[in-house]
Amino acid sequence: MTYVITEACIDTKDQSCIDVCPADCISAEVGDRMLFIDPDLCIDCGACISSCPVDAILAEEDLPREWELYLELNRLHFENAPAARERVDTLVPAG
Ligand code: SF4
């Protein structure tokens, strides 16, 4: 299992989750419009959930159907960051 950052993070990037993550598995790169959790490093502790001011983080098993694509999007960032950025822009066009 992993935790997943979803749509509410786009253009928010509060980064409070990074401060509480014991696995240091949340990416906040300049040029990205959202943060991403590395599913291979997340230890499923849940510490990040309550730190997020926009409730963007959910456990994989709690993802509603419309946000299931964010599971793959978080993984994609760590495999191909430019492709993930493109996908974010498709999902929520930059204003
Ligand atoms: Fe980090 Fe824990 Fe959140 Fe995973 S669930 S991203 S390990 S704080």
Residue bearing the CA closest to ligand 1, atom 8: 21
**Span 7-42, pLDDT tens digits:** 999 999 999 999 999 999 999 999 999 999 999 999
- Sign for the CA dihedral angle at 16, 93, 63, 30 comes to negative
- The residue written with tokens 């066009």 in the block is 93
Contacts (Cβ under 8 Å, ≥6 apart) of 5:
17, 26, 34, 35, 36, 37, 56, 57, 70, 74
Residue bearing the CA closest to ligand 1, atom 1: 21
**In the structure, what pLDDT confidence band is assigned to residue 70 with cuts at 50, 70 and 90?**
very high
pTM for the whole thing? 0.96
Q: How far is the CA of 3 from the centre of ligand 1 (A)?
A: 6
Across the chain, what does the average pLDDT equal?
A: 97
pLDDT computed for residue 31 by the predictor: 94
Q: Look at residue 57 and tell me whether its pLDDT is greater than 90.
A: yes
CA distance 77 to 55: 20
pLDDT computed for residue 95 by the predictor: 81
